[in-house]
Structure 1
């Protein structure tokens, strides 16, 4: 493969598409006016921000005034959880989420627990799916928010969002979904899916880093998260990240336009990788739902090896992969998602996440299917546990 890098960590981040970058460029040096200023340069910036807001709204089936720009998906998650809790604490103090949420949700909920709120963390089945029955049983008179992610960032499992939203609506409980991994991979309509709040992040769909958005359905009672000026209709202070917002708007527009062809390609690469590895490598397990998963997500646990060693050896041959969420890669603990679906520590530690993107090819898959079995075999030869298994045969 020479010096070529095969990038297979699109769930962690993506590159900025050239068309997106070209759209952003004028807003760095030429059309740089502050969108809150009343002179022409500022008004032009304001107009560009509102056009980007329209693009995000169209992608979600929302209204433009329901879209608020943030500095990231994590900020949007924090705002949704803490903003609803703060604004509705007189009504109740109970929040329901799942055991496999992104750290931005999990840690926001833990913070609220320290402030006197009660949080129920719903279990998931072995595929990572939240049970609607479990959700129904967890609801209390004090429940003010249900937050269930649209698609999991590690194992790719897609939840039954429309059904969860319908139940929440029927009960008069706000429903938030972290859709950071879903944009561009799953068709989303906030109206049809009964979603009250939705978080997204630009850099997951070929837009710039440092910008995200929160959809808040009109009429939802939510507190401001950043206090200061009157930006974002008084809900989120801070001078607008003009180039970032423009880039987000262009990126989400392209993501929705190209979704069908993009997903068809990713699905083909995913299936060939899963089937090939399952056929070539013994003692492995696919994590996440077999079919109801993100089209580009492959998450496999290899018994008798350490995932970190596998990643380092893949890096040596130019392959960028992951053992879980980029946000928690500094942790030595096994993935909370893999633990939640029932994997023991030793198997969870041997996991590999590969997430495909538009630049990946069949040649990349062929290379993986040739090299991964060799690396796994080499690592297992150093494992006393694997040696014992072989000797038992």
Structure 2
């Protein structure tokens, strides 16, 4: 399992300790969005707003709706242009309306219906000016376009195994160790106490095997090649 964690970390350019294994992209999105909202609101009751693009996957839109109905969150769905691309200026305006009220921003890396790649680095730049954490659903991006967690500057990133040819029922939330995230599941304290529960090691190994060819294609040798060397 730890070798698989290292493989995924190398594929996404993050630290192995930042990889939190989940049951899939939906759980990873829920953990990121709810976990960030609860943590940020606990630290500052004014943090009630979550900003998101209007074209997010339902794995993001439905948790946002749930937080609005049950947890008092204010959800701002930001419009996109005719290509499905979020306007950075629209995001800037939404933030600057009341920066201290924003708990988090979530914008998908690539759209699951039309394939539009969102301006993630610009989103991060605008958010960083106000200390706002950014989550991105990269489920449709990994394996299709370069996904570099460290370079992007995002605080949390969701991925899923079956979208890259791995098994169903496994995914991961890559989350910076400095980010305070309230857990959804409590129990044995696995995955840094962020996601308790016995892990599906064969599925995790399958996920790692699925991302390995992408690393080799990008010019980074896979673990098998490293062992051979």
TM (norm. structure 2) is 0.90
Report the number of matched residues: 212
Distance 1:162 1:81 in 2: 19
Distance 2:21 2:154 in 1: 18
Contact persistence 1:184–1:259 (CA under 8 A): no
Counterparts of 1:204-215 in structure 2, within 5 Å, are: 204-215=163-174
Distance 1:111 1:79 in 2: 13
Query: Is 1:257 the counterpart of 2:212 in the alignment?
Result: no
Residue 93 of structure 1, aligned match among 48, 51, 75 = 48
Contact persistence 1:166–1:193 (CA under 8 A): no
Distance 2:120 2:135 in 1: 10
Query: Is 1:123 the counterpart of 2:104 in the alignment?
Result: no
* Alpha-carbon offset, residue 246 of structure 1: 0.6
Q: Any idea what the Cα deviations from partners look like across 1:219-252, whole Å, max 9, x if unmatched?
A: 1010111111121122111111010011111111
Residue 28 of structure 2, aligned match among 76, 86, 95 = 76
Q: Secondary structure at the match of 2:173?
A: strand
Query: Is 1:102 the counterpart of 2:45 in the alignment?
Result: no
Residue 132 of structure 1, aligned match among 51, 69, 88 = 88
* Alpha-carbon offset, residue 170 of structure 1: 2.2
Aligned to 1:185: 144
Distance 2:50 2:133 in 1: 10
Can you give the 5+ residue segments of structure 1 that lack an aligned partner in the other structure? 1-48, 261-393
Q: Secondary structure at the match of 2:150?
A: coil
Moved over 2 A (4+): 255-260
Query: Is 1:227 the counterpart of 2:227 in the alignment?
Result: no
Distance 1:93 1:256 in 2: 39
Distance 2:214 2:33 in 1: 27
Contact persistence 1:205–1:255 (CA under 8 A): no
Q: After alignment, is 213-222 or 160-169 more displaced?
A: 160-169
* Alpha-carbon offset, residue 256 of structure 1: 3.0
Distance 2:209 2:193 in 1: 25
Distance 2:86 2:218 in 1: 26
Residue 2 of structure 2, aligned match among 32, 50, 54 = 50
Distance 1:155 1:201 in 2: 19
Distance 1:134 1:152 in 2: 18
Distance 1:64 1:70 in 2: 15
Distance 1:106 1:76 in 2: 13
Q: Which protein shows a greater Rg?
A: 1
Counterparts of 1:1-393 in structure 2, within 5 Å, are: 49-90=1-42, 91=44, 92-114=47-69, 115-139=71-95, 140=98, 141-258=100-217
Contact persistence 1:169–1:194 (CA under 8 A): no
* Alpha-carbon offset, residue 255 of structure 1: 2.5
TM (norm. structure 1) is 0.53
Distance 2:89 2:186 in 1: 39
- Report 1 or 2 for greater relative contact order, CA contacts < 8 Å, sequence distance ≥ 6: 2
* Alpha-carbon offset, residue 179 of structure 1: 0.1
Q: Any idea what the Cα deviations from partners look like across 1:292-347, whole Å, max 9, x if unmatched?
A: xxxxxxxxxxxxxxxxxxxxxxxxxxxxxxxxxxxxxxxxxxxxxxxxxxxxxxxx
